[in-house]
Amino acid sequence: MGMLRKFHQSQAISSDYQYQAAVISGLIELNKRREERMTAVESELKIRKAATPGGMPSEDEKGTCEIPCVKKKRKKTATTRLSTVWYEWYTREPRLWMSEASRQQVSNSSNTVVFMKLFLDDGFTLDEHLKSFKEAAIVYGERAEERVVAFLARRGITARGAGII
């Protein structure tokens, strides 16, 4: 009885392997066809790009282009000054890290403020209960921004925005 059971188990395992091999073969065939289609599309794009100076389609080709010839535009936003991020971090209500701001924004702001703190050699003290709290936040933020920009300029970096740091 034991030999017969082992025989059936080996047949079941064998049929599982055959099924898996068939699935793998099918996937390989799909990938080959996809590669062929991609190669055809890429070669068509290279031909069209080479046909016109600068790689842009000519006016008469634009109407007959089967493949969309749309160039994605880069999103442009205004540069956020470092001192603005500093001021927002310390004075915004509710606090940035407790608000519904995206985690990416909170992380970027936190990293920017921590980096700016490195350039306040003499330290700083902000007391929320003083009337001059917001003015002090502006002063410290601008001082740190000046020093960060000077540090970056010495290294040939002209960036001034908070997203770069």
> Whole-number mean pLDDT of the chain?
80
Note whether 145 and 87 are same-domain residues.
yes
Pair (106, 142) in one structural domain: yes
Global pTM? 0.52
Whether residues 8 and 46 share a domain: the answer is yes
148 and 88 together in one domain:
yes
119 located within any domain = yes
Q: How confident is the model at residue 12 (pLDDT cuts 50, 70, 90)?
A: low
Q: Is 127 found in the same domain as 93?
A: yes
Q: Domain of 31? A: 2-64
- pLDDT one-digit tens code per residue, 19-41: 888 888 888 888 888 889 888 88
Q: How many domains does the chain have?
A: 2
What's residue 60's pLDDT? 54
pLDDT at residue 141, rounded to an integer: 93
Check whether residue 51 and residue 99 sit in a common domain: no
The answer to whether residue 159 is domain-embedded is: no
Same domain, 21 and 55: yes
**Which residues are bridge partners to 81 per DSSP?**
161
Task: Tell me the pLDDT band of 9, cut-offs 50, 70 and 90.
Answer: low
Neighbouring C-beta atoms of residue 103, cutoff 10 Å: 8
